[in-house]
């Protein structure tokens, strides 16, 4: 049953990955920028510091995919003024962006649209891990095999709003996974008591959260 739900989640994730045009998720351009800088400009991610040639190329990709038809006025590409692509994410913790940067390190010569899809697929992987953690958590609450376990996990896998978020390039994806793991460990402690393994897991996930 779990394998079937994970397969459904994978198909749902792939559909949302490719049906939503690049950059159309909330603040996705600047989340992508953070991961791209980690992959291409180590040590460059600082508040107020930008790679202007990269931003200009990214803004052109956003323009080509209709981003500016819905979100804001397009920048003036005929001048050398700094290009605004959205609120910077440079002050955010780096863990999620490090994972997204991994495929970008291998795709440096490809277009930003291809790199966008690669980053989204990392989020899909995190989505599948979240579905698995949901299954484990509900097993702690209701017992393995209880209808509540598979019904709720399937609901999570099919929920459009959650899938839309969990297939974007956004650190919200990492936050959902981190808190899901925290719930699983916390409920395990309530059910089975403290062990060194659970204490270490709790401390680690609190730090990540």
HEC string of 32-56 equals HHHHHHHHHCCCCCCCCCCCHHHHH
pLDDT over 90, % of the chain:
79
Report pLDDT for 52: 87
Per-residue pLDDT of 5-55, as tens digits, reads: 999 999 999 999 999 999 999 899 999 999 999 999 877 676 667 788 899
Per-residue pLDDT of 99-147, as tens digits, reads: 999 999 999 999 999 999 999 999 999 999 999 999 999 999 998 889 9
Confidence of residue 70 (pLDDT cuts 50, 70, 90): confident
Per-residue pLDDT of 136-162, as tens digits, reads: 999 999 988 899 999 999 999 999 999
CB atoms within 10 A of CB 140: 19
Residues ≥6 apart with Cβ < 8 Å to 150: 1, 2, 5, 135
Confidence of residue 80 (pLDDT cuts 50, 70, 90): confident
Report pLDDT for 48: 60
Question: What is the enclosing helix (H) or strand (E) of 122?
Answer: helix 112-142
CA-closest candidate to residue 115, choices 29, 13, 207, 49: 29
Report pLDDT for 19: 96
Report pLDDT for 84: 87
Give how far the C-alpha of residue 176 lies from the chain's centroid of Cα atoms, to the nearest Å. 9
Residues ≥6 apart with Cβ < 8 Å to 69: none
> What distance in Å separates the CA atoms of residue 84 and residue 185, rounded to the nearest whole number?
41
Confidence of residue 201 (pLDDT cuts 50, 70, 90): very high
Confidence of residue 88 (pLDDT cuts 50, 70, 90): confident
> What distance in Å separates the CA atoms of residue 154 and residue 12, rounded to the nearest whole number?
11
Count, residues in the chain:
209
């Amino acid at each position: 049953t779990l394998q079937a739900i994970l397969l459904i989640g994978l198909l749902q994730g792939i559909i949302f990955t490719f049906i939503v045009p690049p950059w159309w998720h909330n603040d996705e351009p600047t989340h992508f920028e953070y991961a791209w800088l980690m992959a291409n400009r180590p040590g460059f991610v600082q508040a107020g510091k930008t790679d202007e040639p990269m931003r200009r190329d990214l803004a052109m990709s956003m323009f080509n995919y209709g981003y500016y038809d819905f979100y804001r006025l397009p920048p003036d590409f005929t001048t050398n003024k700094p290009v605004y692509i959205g609120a910077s994410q440079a002050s955010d913790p780096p863990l999620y962006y490090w994972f997204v940067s991994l495929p970008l390190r291998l795709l440096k010569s490809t277009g930003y649209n291809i790199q966008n899809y690669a980053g989204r697929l990392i989020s899909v992987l995190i989505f599948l891990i979240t579905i698995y953690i949901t299954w484990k958590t509900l097993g702690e609450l209701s017992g393995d095999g209880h209808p509540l376990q598979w019904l709720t996990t399937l609901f999570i896998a099919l929920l459009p709003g959650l899938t839309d978020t969990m297939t974007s390039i956004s650190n919200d994806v990492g936050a959902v996974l981190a808190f899901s793991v925290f719930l699983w460990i916390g409920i395990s402690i309530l059910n089975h008591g403290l062990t060194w393994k659970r204490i270490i897991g709790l401390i680690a996930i609190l730090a990540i959260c």
